[in-house]
Chain A
Amino acid sequence: MSRLSSQIFASILVNAIYEMRNYPAVLLITVLSPLSFLTLIFFISGGTLLAVGIVGGLIMSMFSAGTSLQADLSHLKNDFKLQDMVVGSPTKASVYVAGMAISELIYASPALAILSILFALFVHVELVAVLGIVTVMLMMFLMSISLGFALATFSSDIVQSFAFTRLLSLLFTTLAPVYYPITYIPLPWRYFAYLSPTTYAAQIGHVLVGFYEIPRNQLMIDWAILIILTALFLWIGMKKARWREK
């Protein structure tokens, strides 16, 4: 095992494998959150929003991985002072976060697996559309882990940190049109939805599964905004997060 993989694996062991092994109940919440929303949407829409809900669930799972990262990093940093021990070791910030981010993906994997099976069974699209949705999911993940890391390094209290996690989750995955189409929001309220980066991701996803159509140039604008926001959040994560304190 190389030095780098050893350092990454350490984060995965601490934040996923050992935690799941000793506290299996934490797994349930990551599985139930996206599925409970999907169930609700399915029954309310009489099944018509199933494809939209599945894509929404996939986007939510990826975004939630980042917000969970923020909560977990804050918990490890403030309650156990683990981050100080790692800062004073040869592990670099980027390596520590990479390991922690992978651990969040491992947590999200049961929900992602169930949603992927539902996607294969009930959503019939071409491979290009699948690749598009996977790209959107990856961008959501990168964006949210960058934001999560930056916020975690600034937080000094776990209660404050959990409040942020819930707030981000509420604004970006519950209120924002992720599980339902943006067309359901009447004007002028719809414009507020565009303040959330998840709106662009979900709109691309909903178009790719063929739930509704938007002009080609609007789709290109959605992609461009998503790429710019991902790059911006990555920059914030890399440049603005505190490793050594000032």
Chain B
Amino acid sequence: MTRTGEITCEGITKVYAGGKTALSTVNFSIPAHGIFAVIGRNGAGKTTLARILSTLLEPSSGRASIDGLDVMLDAKVLRERMAVVPQEGRTVAWMTPVQTVTTYLMWRGVGYKESVRKAEEAMAQVGLEGQANRLNRTLSGGMKRKVLVAMVLASDAEFIFLDEPSTGLDPISRQELWRLLIELGKDRFVLLTTHYLEEAERVADRIGILNEGRLIASGNMEELRGHLKHQYSLKVPEGANLLVKEGEKITLGNGQVQVLTTRDEALELSKDLIQAKTQFSVNPVTLDDIFTYMVGAMDAEVTEFKEVEEE
């Protein structure tokens, strides 16, 4: 076995019993370090991809490997090096945070005393020192999530899979979780699936966009921006008088129209909108814009404008 230092998917397809295709010929190769966020709508295949890579689910066809180790053939070796927090993973109600982390480490083969010591250290790392010996069922949702993150933090796993770890958290708890994720991603590989585009943009080094089982884009923010012809986004209410010379106008369906355009055009349009006293927002394209363009635009009406140069 040669260590490749990469996570690779070659033609990964998953068709569940009943015929539902969750993933369709997914191909990518990314470095096995840093944070890779997988985003997509409900049912896009995020969880299926995470479960296949974390050796919890067999693909129907294709091959996936982590650092040169096949997820099907070398699962035993891989499981020594990975840690998984599944979607809807919860802390066991009748245990305390320290007990939760301790037993998880013991399942990873660490001795009892060493596990307790590491669990207590992890409690401090996630800011739960004061809650370490309370029953999990008495903790808030944010604290319970932190306990699950503490489990993987305390482990020596190099590859970590977190399936929607921030779902249902309040904004403050989510930001605390992001801090921990960034910490984790410094010296390990983290695959993170999320619905929150802001989360992916804030914490991830690389982002993959799944839509209906297909990976439609993958890369860092710069590379993803490259999928868009224009780098500025302007949002105005539907019906606003807007004379777009260059760019794309997308009817978002929420009473707003988005214009993706150049920096200069955005500036010109902004001047017009200020004069017309129309409410608007303008900003460089975010992941939200890229996602809406690539996934949401499939449902939206897009009109392209191009300035024709006079000869």
Q: Is the CB of B108 within 8 A of A85?
A: no
Partner of A244, one of B55, B99, B102, B109: B55
- Interface 9-mer from B38-46, B86-94, B281-289, B300-308: B86-94
Q: Is the CB of A80 within 8 A of B56?
A: no
Which chain A positions have C-beta within 8 A of B17? 246
| Number of chain B residues whose Cβ lies closer than 8 Å to a Cβ of chain A | 40
Q: Which of A1, A6, A13 has the most CB of B within 10 A?
A: A6
Residue B85 interfacial (CB < 8 Å): yes
Q: Can you list, as one digit per residue, whether each of A46-90 has a CB less than 8 Å from chain B (1) or not (0)? A: 000000000000000000000000000000100111101111111
Chain A binding surface, main DSSP class: helix
Q: Is the CB of A89 within 8 A of B90?
A: no
In chain B, residues 99-155, which have Cβ atoms closer than 8 Å to a Cβ of chain A?
Answer: 99, 102-104, 106-112, 115, 135, 151
CA distance A86 to B56 in the complex (A): 10
Which chain B positions have C-beta within 8 A of A90? 76, 79-80, 107-109
Output the least CB separation between A130 and chain B (Å): 35
Which chain B positions have C-beta within 8 A of A9? 106, 112
Residue A109 interfacial (CB < 8 Å): no
Q: Is the CB of A244 within 8 A of B57?
A: yes
Output the least CB separation between A79 and chain B (Å): 7
Residue A116 interfacial (CB < 8 Å): no
- Interface 9-mer from A15-23, A30-38, A144-152: A15-23
Residue A7 interfacial (CB < 8 Å): yes
Which chain B positions have C-beta within 8 A of A87? 55-56, 79, 84
Q: Is the CB of B90 within 8 A of A10?
A: no
Output the least CB separation between B57 and chain A (Å): 5
Q: Is the CB of A84 within 8 A of B84?
A: yes
Q: Is the CB of A6 within 8 A of B55?
A: no
Residue A245 interfacial (CB < 8 Å): yes
Output the least CB separation between A90 and chain B (Å): 5
Q: Can you list, as one digit per residue, whether each of B245-282 has a CB less than 8 Å from chain A (1) or not (0)? A: 00000000000000000000000000000000000000
Residue A167 interfacial (CB < 8 Å): no
Output the least CB separation between B234 and chain A (Å): 43
Residue B95 interfacial (CB < 8 Å): yes
Query: Which chain B residue has the least Cβ–Cβ distance from A75?
Result: B92
Q: Is the CB of A88 within 8 A of B104?
A: no
Q: Is the CB of B56 within 8 A of A245?
A: yes
Residue A91 interfacial (CB < 8 Å): yes
Which chain A positions have C-beta within 8 A of B92? 14, 18, 76, 80, 82
Residue B161 interfacial (CB < 8 Å): yes
Residue A3 interfacial (CB < 8 Å): yes
Partner of B58, one of A14, A80, A85, A245: A245
Residue B83 interfacial (CB < 8 Å): yes
Output the least CB separation between B191 and chain A (Å): 12
Output the least CB separation between A135 and chain B (Å): 32
Q: Is the CB of B90 within 8 A of A81?
A: yes
CA distance A7 to B161 in the complex (A): 21
Q: Decide: A1 near B57, CB < 8 A? Known: A81-B90, A85-B89.
A: no
Q: Is the CB of A88 within 8 A of B161?
A: yes
Q: Is the CB of A81 within 8 A of B95?
A: no
Q: Decide: A81 near B56, CB < 8 A? Known: A14-B103, A88-B161.
A: no
Q: Is the CB of A10 within 8 A of B55?
A: no
CA distance A89 to B110 in the complex (A): 12
Q: Which residues of B contact A (CB under 8 A)?
A: 17, 51, 54-58, 75-76, 79-80, 82-95, 99, 102-104, 106-112, 115, 135, 151, 161
5 residue pairs, one from A and one from B, having the closest CB atoms: A88-B84, A10-B106, A84-B86, A3-B109, A81-B89
